[in-house]
Amino acid sequence: MAQKQLKTWLEKNGRSAAWLAKRLGMSRSVVSYWLTGSRTPEHWTRERIESVTGVLASGWESGPERKARKEREKRERVAARLAS
């Protein structure tokens, strides 16, 4: 997932969410939402993130993709509990 890659990039390069927000002309809180996975940047923003950090724009999930993944993970957890 791109948010994990972005978080890792920031840590490895000694950068913060505030630094990235300033480079992108956005608020730090928006960048923090991306890093926690609670929101996904718009396509044009993903391309800007890629140009600044090298984190691939194609690695981000859309809202519906994220929702489907979370539902799938929940079903898998329930199935694992029932199987044990």
| Average pLDDT score over the chain | 90
* Greater model confidence, 30 or 84: 30
- Which CATH number does the domain housing residue 72 bear? 1.10.260.40
Q: Is residue 68 very low, low, confident or very high in pLDDT (cuts 50, 70, 90)?
A: confident
Q: What's the pTM?
A: 0.71
User: Structural domain tally of the chain?
Assistant: 1
Q: What is the pLDDT of residues 74-83, one digit of tens each?
A: 999 999 999 9
Higher pLDDT, 70 or 48: 48
Euclidean distance between CA atoms 44 and 80, whole angstroms: 39
Tabulate helix, strand, coil % of the chain (nearest 5): 75, 0, 25
Domain range spanning residue 15?
2-83
Q: Which of 33, 59, 57 is nearest to 45 (CA)?
A: 57
